[in-house]
Amino acid sequence: MVEIAVMGYGVVGSGVVEVLTNHVENIAKRAKEQINIKYILDLREFPGSPFADKFTNSFDKILNDPEIKIVVEVMGGLKPAFEYVKRCLEAGKSVVTSNKELVAAKGAELLKIAQKNNLNFLFEASVGGGIPIIRPISQCLAANDVVEIAGILNGTTNFILTKMIREQMTFDDTLALAQKLGYAERNPAADVEGYDACRKKCILASLAYGKHVYPEQVHTEGITGITLADVEYAAAWGGVVKLIGQVKMMGDGKLQIIVCPMFIPRDSKLANVDDVFKGIMVRGDSTGDVVFYGKGAGKLPTASAVVADVIDCVKHFKARKYLYWEDGSKDYVEDYLLNDVAMFVRAETDNEDIAFKNINKIFGGVTRLSRKRAAGGEIAFVTDIMQEKAIAAKLAELETLGVCVKNTIRIGDL
Q: Which helix (DSSP H) or strand (DSSP E) does residue 335 occupy?
A: none
| Binding residues with its own copies: total (CB under 8 A) | 51
| Residue 211 zone, left/alpha/beta (φ > 0; ψ -120 to 50; rest) | beta
Is 30 a binding residue for its own copies by CB under 8 A? The answer is: yes
Smaller CB separation from its own copies, 132 or 402: 132
Is 61 a binding residue for its own copies by CB under 8 A? The answer is: no
Is 211 a binding residue for its own copies by CB under 8 A? The answer is: no
Least separation in angstroms between residue 109's CB and its own copies is 20
Q: Which residue in 372, 364, 370 sits closest to 394, CA to CA?
A: 364
Is 10 a binding residue for its own copies by CB under 8 A? The answer is: no
Cα–Cα distance, 306 to 15 (Å, whole number)? 9
In the set 204, 308, 347, 391, which binds its own copies (CB under 8 A)?
Answer: 308
Smaller CB separation from its own copies, 318 or 372: 318
Is 291 a binding residue for its own copies by CB under 8 A? The answer is: yes
Is 293 a binding residue for its own copies by CB under 8 A? The answer is: yes
Smaller CB separation from its own copies, 264 or 311: 311
Smaller CB separation from its own copies, 103 or 305: 305
Is 21 a binding residue for its own copies by CB under 8 A? The answer is: no
Cα–Cα distance, 167 to 172 (Å, whole number)? 13
200 is an active site residue:
yes
Cα distances (Å, whole numbers) of residue 33 to 28, 29, 317, 383: 5, 7, 12, 60
Residue type at 223 in one-letter notation: I
- Per DSSP, helices labelled H in 56-133 are 59-63, 81-90, 100-116, 125-128
Helix axis angle, 228-237 to 155-167, nearest 10°: 80
Least separation in angstroms between residue 318's CB and its own copies is 6
Least separation in angstroms between residue 25's CB and its own copies is 11
Cα–Cα distance, 213 to 107 (Å, whole number)? 9
Q: Which helix (DSSP H) or strand (DSSP E) does residue 156 occupy?
A: helix 155-167
For 79, half-sphere exposure in the C-beta direction (CA atoms, 13 angstrom radius) is 0
Least separation in angstroms between residue 129's CB and its own copies is 8
Is 85 a binding residue for its own copies by CB under 8 A? The answer is: no
Is 301 a binding residue for its own copies by CB under 8 A? The answer is: yes
Out of 69, 100, 200, 248, pick the active-site residue: 200
Least separation in angstroms between residue 209's CB and its own copies is 11
Which string of x and - marks every residue 243-282 that binds its own copies (by CB under 8 A)? Answer: --------------------------x--x----------
| Residue 297 zone, left/alpha/beta (φ > 0; ψ -120 to 50; rest) | beta
In the set 11, 37, 229, 290, which binds its own copies (CB under 8 A)?
Answer: 290
Least separation in angstroms between residue 275's CB and its own copies is 11
In the set 182, 286, 373, 376, which binds its own copies (CB under 8 A)?
Answer: 286
Is 304 a binding residue for its own copies by CB under 8 A? The answer is: yes
Is 239 a binding residue for its own copies by CB under 8 A? The answer is: no
Q: Which residue in 331, 350, 341 sits closest to 392, CA to CA?
A: 341
Cα–Cα distance, 230 to 162 (Å, whole number)? 13
Is 360 a binding residue for its own copies by CB under 8 A? The answer is: no
For 90, half-sphere exposure in the C-beta direction (CA atoms, 13 angstrom radius) is 8
DSSP assignment string, 361-380: HHHT--EEE--TTPPTTEEE
Cα–Cα distance, 293 to 21 (Å, whole number)? 27
Which string of x and - marks every residue 129-168 that binds its own copies (by CB under 8 A)? Answer: -xxx--xx--xxxxxxx-----------------------
Is 292 a binding residue for its own copies by CB under 8 A? The answer is: yes
Residue type at 38 in one-letter notation: K
Least separation in angstroms between residue 272's CB and its own copies is 5
> Residues 261, 226: contact at Cβ < 8 Å?
yes
Under DSSP, the state recorded for 284 is: E
- Interaction residues for its own copies, span 314-353 (CB under 8 A): 315-316, 318-319, 322
Cα–Cα distance, 55 to 43 (Å, whole number)? 9
Q: Which active-site residues does the annotation give?
A: 200
Where along the sequence are the contacts to its own copies (CB under 8 A)?
A: 19-20, 23, 26-27, 30-32, 124, 130-132, 135-136, 139-145, 269, 272, 284-296, 298, 300-301, 303-305, 307-308, 311-312, 315-316, 318-319, 322
